[in-house]
Amino acid sequence: MKTAVVFGSSGLIGGHLLEQLIKNDNYNKVKIFVRSEPVINEPKIEIIETNFNNLENHKEDIKGDDCFFCIGTTRQNSPDKNEYQKVELDIPKKIAQIAKANLVNSFIFISSIYANPKSSGDYVKFKGLVEEELKKLTFSNLGILRPSFLKGDRKENRVGEKIGILTFSLLSPLLLGPLKKMKPINSKIVAQAMIKIANENLEKTIFESNEIVELASG
């Protein structure tokens, strides 16, 4: 039986991930790291109220078998550039470094389509820089998922994303070959793939959006 360590359990992917981990017999404990304590009545779950400004304080808590990271923000929610960088770059790198030092076996990270450390856009640049750091840390099992537009019920209203989902859903039949990875993807499928990567000995490390679908359905 394993212990899952989860960052981002209240988000679109993280919510599905938490539900699936609770039902998964491979795990007898699920640690969730949260800013404020949610109301959850589930014996598998250990809630750790977290100060993300001082993650060193939680060094003894970030221990387990598989670490799942799906924290993310938007410019709308984090308009301050330094805060945005902290959420998208500094926090995931620090958590990964602590997890590696604590001998966590698997690190499963939600990145982004077109992640690139040399990009001029902060979002895909930061995701790419985190990917580079994860590769350097040489986890026994590393999974980097690059989903396209995420389908699902968000708590917040993201107008631009809704337009993107609608546009690319209509274009889906035309998105072939290298463009297949641009098709919108259901957040529940991404969560399924995360758990599968953590529990199977796969040769691949990076999964584009269409490959996530294939993995989850395989």
* Tens digit of each residue's pLDDT (9 = 90 or more) over 90-121: 999 999 999 999 999 999 999 999 999 999 88
Is residue 202's pLDDT more than 60? yes
Is residue 87's pLDDT more than 80? yes
Domain count within the chain: 1
Name the average pLDDT for the chain.
Answer: 87
Q: Is residue 60 part of a domain?
A: yes
Please report the sign of the dihedral spanned by the C-alpha atoms of residue 93, residue 94, residue 97, residue 102: negative
Kindly provide the b/e burial profile for residues 74-99, where b requires at least 16 CB atoms within 10 angstroms of the residue's own CB. Answer: eeeebeeeeebbbbbbbbbbbbbbbb
At 180, is the pLDDT very low, low, confident or very high (cuts 50, 70, 90)? low
Q: Is residue 172 part of a domain?
A: no
Q: Is 62 helix (H, G, I), strand (E, B) or coil?
A: coil
164 or 93, which is more confident: 93
Q: Which residues pair with 106 in a beta bridge?
A: 66, 141
CATH number, domain containing residue 43 = 3.40.50.720
| pLDDT digit string, tens, across residues 14-63 | 999 999 999 999 999 999 999 887 878 889 999 999 999 999 999 999 99
Integer distance in angstroms from the first to the last C-alpha of the chain? 23
d(CA 38, CA 32): 10
CA distances from 157 to 37, 91, 129, 160, 204 (A): 23, 24, 28, 9, 34
| pLDDT digit string, tens, across residues 132-158 | 999 999 999 999 999 988 876 655 555
Q: Is residue 101 part of a domain?
A: yes
d(CA 116, CA 100): 23
Residues of the domain holding 77: 2-155+185-217
| pLDDT digit string, tens, across residues 48-58 | 999 999 999 99
Pick the closest to residue 97 from 66, 59, 125 (CA basis): 59
d(CA 217, CA 210): 11
Q: Is residue 77 part of a domain?
A: yes
Q: Is residue 111 part of a domain?
A: yes
Is residue 69's pLDDT more than 90? yes
Question: Rounded to two decimals, what is the model's pTM?
Answer: 0.87
d(CA 81, CA 89): 11
Q: Is residue 161 part of a domain?
A: no
Q: Is residue 177 part of a domain?
A: no
Strand intervals (E) in the chain: 2-7, 27-34, 45-49, 66-69, 106-110, 141-146, 150-151, 185-186, 206-208
